[in-house]
Structure 1
Amino acid sequence: MNHERSRELYDRALSVSPGGVNSSVRATMPHPFFIERGDGGHVIDADGNRYVDWVMGYGPLLYGHDLPDSVESAVQSHAAAGPMYGAPTEVEVEHAEFVARHVPSVESIRFVNSGTEATVSAVRLARGHTDRDKIVVMRGGYHGAQESTLVEGSPENPRPSTKGIPGEFAKHTLPIPFNDPRAAKEVFAEHGDDIAAVLVEPILANTGIVMPVDGYHETLRDLCDDHGALLVFDEVITGFRVGGLGCAQSKFGVTPDVTTFGKIIGGGFPVGAIGGKAEIIEEFTPAGGVFQSGTFSGHPVTMAAGKATLEYAAENDVYEHVNRLGRKLREGIADVCAERAPEYTVVGTDSMFKTVFTRETPADTTDSCADGCRQDADCGRYDTCPKTGADVAAAETDRWERVFWQEMKDRGVFLTANQFECQFTSYAHTEADVEKTLAAYREAI
């Protein structure tokens, strides 16, 4: 493939943007390819190269790059009416009503502008509601670029995971391993009276896709109830992708007090949201005393896109299609790995998929979870499959980024550029896209 035009654009970008990109995950080696346009389940770069796109904007594009007519019409009609108003519109009320009807935890919802803004606001809300300061997070979980969650270490020694965050901020965050009920019980035994909330992704979706072990979320629910803390599910990635319109919380049968959203809830436009019990969400100003506001919150074009996106999914076979392709990919990749790299672990659920380049080959590979790791204690891989963010970080992360991603790109398949970010199927993808990707896998692994 020729990448001359992308190389020229990257050279120009380096002069005006840090690292030549506006989001660090886009800084691929030796340089990113610059996208010119999307086409269904594909993207075409500035040099005219076509790729099957499994990145899907890192999750928001449930329909790929071609919107259903009803979604496109809703976007165009609201854009034509004016950019924004600084006042409420009917469509944001209708969108809120739709979400509240379908998501178990949501009685009331506040729309914001990004997943990060949603989790920042949810943390402030939890602290205001409980009059406590400490937040429990999962190591390897991701909740956006915010000070309260860019923290690593242990409950006894929390520390910022990036420069620019004062150590005094980190002391209010208690990082524990995902899927470790004992660690959760211990942190509540030590700090229960000071914990405002547990902030957790239902699935670690930004660290290789790690499913919860049986009963883990129920343990968190019970601990929060016993100690007067809030259980906050971060469904920015899983929301309206895992579990259909009921989100991952409906799939797992555990209802949080508060849920954060992003990505699909805005139909591909910038968005975030915080939903939950009315008595909690209504502590946001002006109804309550927890300040939250934003110039572009409830933007009419975003609200129209999000509402039309979810309505179309409710009326058509969207989830059947994307989940079937996700399953076909996971099963096909598992077959390839069984032959060529039996140590690797295929992960994912519904329309999410990934391959974690784990290092240890299980003693028994004949009875594995064919449709992606399910944390099944009876599975032959159970003792070696990733259960925490640290397990994924211990995989061959450089091999994915430096070798495998490059090989797949050269074969016309666009995957997320590191071992950690997950990949997604869309309503625009086809069986042919799956077969092309599996053929590339066979050559690249």
Structure 2
Amino acid sequence: MNDDNSRELYDRALSVMPGGVNSAVRAAIEPYPFFVQKGDGGHVIDADGNRLVDWVMGLGPLLLGHDLPDQVRAAIQQNASEGPMYGTPTEVEVDLAEFVVRHVPSVEKIRFVNSGTEATTSAVRLARGYTGRNKIVVMQGGYHGAQESTLVEGDAENPQPSSAGVPHSFAEHTLPVPFNDEDAMRAVFEEHGEDIAAVMTEPILGNYGIVSPEDGYLEFLRELTDEHGSLFILDEVITGFRVGGLGCAQSEFGVTPDITTFGKIIGGGFPVGAIGGKAHIIEQFAPSGPVFQAGTFSGHPVTMAAGLETLQFAAENGVYDHVNGLGERLRTDLSEIVADQAPEYTVVGTDSMFKVIFTRAGPGKNSLDEACTDGCRQNPTCPRYDHCPKNAADVKNAETERWRRVFWGQMKAQGIFLSQNQFECQFVSYAHTDEDVERTLEAYKEAL
């Protein structure tokens, strides 16, 4: 593939932007990222005219793909033409709030913001303000945006900032524990229970290779937080309106959080975040309560219209049947390819999310007859159970450099755009086709 224009654009970008990018993950592609000119259905066309099947979908927001249906496009254009924004409420933000409250069982009220990071930042502040406590429990390797309270690594005994610029005094109030480890979580509550404002987790680790919860783990967190008077925050920025359809992942797993954070799909491809939950908790936000939260662009009418029309289209046109069906086929066929060519690797994902984790060990090709066929489900009877990732550390210990430096480039050379590293999700959209899936599977066979 020719990439002269992308190389020239990156050279220019390096002169005016740190690392040549505006989000760090985009620079994971080496020696430089390709620049996209436009999207087309389930594909992107780069600055050099190369056409690639796009399984990144903007890192998740594009449930419908790059070509928006007429009703979605019309709503966006109408709101944009009537004025950029106003600094006052508009009807469309009420409409979107009513839609979310109607479909997500745990959400009684909602506050819209401008990004997933802003949503999780506000949720942490809300939990602290509501409980009068300081500490937040998070999962090691879980990602909740670029905010001080969660850019923390280490363990509960020795939390450390994971970024320069985060004071140790901030990190001291964040307690990281391994995902799926009930004993570690109990130990943290035994030590700090009276000062834990909330446990915050993704229902599925989505920024660390896709790691599913073991059976009963989310219910355990719900019970433990109730027992100690803490809040349970479910970060559905990635999974919201993708896993579990309109009810989100919490409906699929059967858990009811106190607070849910949203982003990505809820804005239909435009900048968005939201914090929803029980009315008496969400009402602690200003002006009805003492927890300050505000934003000039919050509830932006174009974003609200895009989100509302996207979700209404999904509800009325079989979108979830389509994307989940293609996702199941990808995972099922990838499981067969991996079993034959790289039996130590693990296929993960659910609904319209998928990934192959380059795990280093497995039960062997001849022991996979009873293995999960639709992505890892943490099934104790599966022969892969002792080898599949249970937490972020397991994914980090995979062959992440082989995935990024060798495999990713081989897939791109065949016209397949995968997420920029081993850790980010890959997503199916309504615009993807059976032909896209077939082409992608053939590329996996070649690259693996």
Q: CA deviation at 1:164?
A: 1.0
Distance in 2 of aligned mates of 1:361 and 1:311:
43
Give deviations 1:77-136, integer Å, cap 9, x for gaps: 000000000000000001000000000110000000000000000000000000000000
Paired AA for residue 205 in structure 1: G
Distance in 1 of aligned mates of 2:348 and 2:143:
18
Q: CA deviation at 1:365?
A: 1.8
Give deviations 1:376-428, integer Å, cap 9, x for gaps: 01101000000000000000000010000000000000000100001000000
For residue 404 of structure 1, what is the aligned residue in structure 2? 407
For residue 229 of structure 2, what is the aligned residue in structure 1? 228
* 1:108-123 pair list within 5 angstroms: 108-123=109-124
Gaps of 5+ in 1: none
TM-score by length of 1: 1.00
Distance in 1 of aligned mates of 2:140 and 2:12:
37
Q: CA deviation at 1:361?
A: 1.9
Paired AA for residue 19 in structure 1: G
Distance in 2 of aligned mates of 1:237 and 1:154:
24
For residue 355 of structure 2, what is the aligned residue in structure 1? 354
Distance in 2 of aligned mates of 1:312 and 1:298:
20
For residue 214 of structure 1, what is the aligned residue in structure 2? 215
Gaps of 5+ in 2: none
* 1:41-190 pair list within 5 angstroms: 41-190=42-191
Which deviates more, 65-74 or 113-122?
65-74
1:322 aligns with 2:323: yes
Paired AA for residue 250 in structure 1: S
Paired AA for residue 174 in structure 1: L
Distance in 1 of aligned mates of 2:30 and 2:314:
36
Distance in 2 of aligned mates of 1:348 and 1:120:
27
Distance in 2 of aligned mates of 1:83 and 1:52:
33
Distance in 1 of aligned mates of 2:116 and 2:363:
37
Distance in 1 of aligned mates of 2:372 and 2:93:
41
Distance in 1 of aligned mates of 2:157 and 2:166:
18
Distance in 2 of aligned mates of 1:419 and 1:384:
17
Distance in 1 of aligned mates of 2:447 and 2:35:
23
1:379 aligns with 2:389: no
What secondary structure, in the 3-state scheme, does the structure 1 residue paired with 2:183 have?
Answer: helix
Which deviates more, 365-374 or 114-123?
365-374
Paired AA for residue 10 in structure 2: Y
Distance in 1 of aligned mates of 2:142 and 2:371:
25
Paired AA for residue 67 in structure 1: L
TM-score by length of 2: 0.99
Q: CA deviation at 1:310?
A: 0.5
Q: CA deviation at 1:150?
A: 0.7
What secondary structure, in the 3-state scheme, does the structure 1 residue paired with 2:218 have?
Answer: helix
For residue 435 of structure 2, what is the aligned residue in structure 1? 432
1:420 aligns with 2:419: no
Distance in 2 of aligned mates of 1:436 and 1:155:
45
Q: CA deviation at 1:258?
A: 0.2
Give deviations 1:317-372, integer Å, cap 9, x for gaps: 00000000001111111111111100000000000000000000225222111100
Distance in 1 of aligned mates of 2:371 and 2:395:
18
Distance in 1 of aligned mates of 2:66 and 2:219:
37
Distance in 2 of aligned mates of 1:328 and 1:45:
27
For residue 293 of structure 1, what is the aligned residue in structure 2? 294
Distance in 1 of aligned mates of 2:392 and 2:115:
23
Segments of 4+ moved more than 6 angstroms: none
Paired AA for residue 52 in structure 1: V
Paired AA for residue 360 in structure 1: A
> How many residue pairs are counted as aligned between the two chains?
445
What secondary structure, in the 3-state scheme, does the structure 1 residue paired with 2:307 have?
Answer: helix
Q: CA deviation at 1:140?
A: 1.2
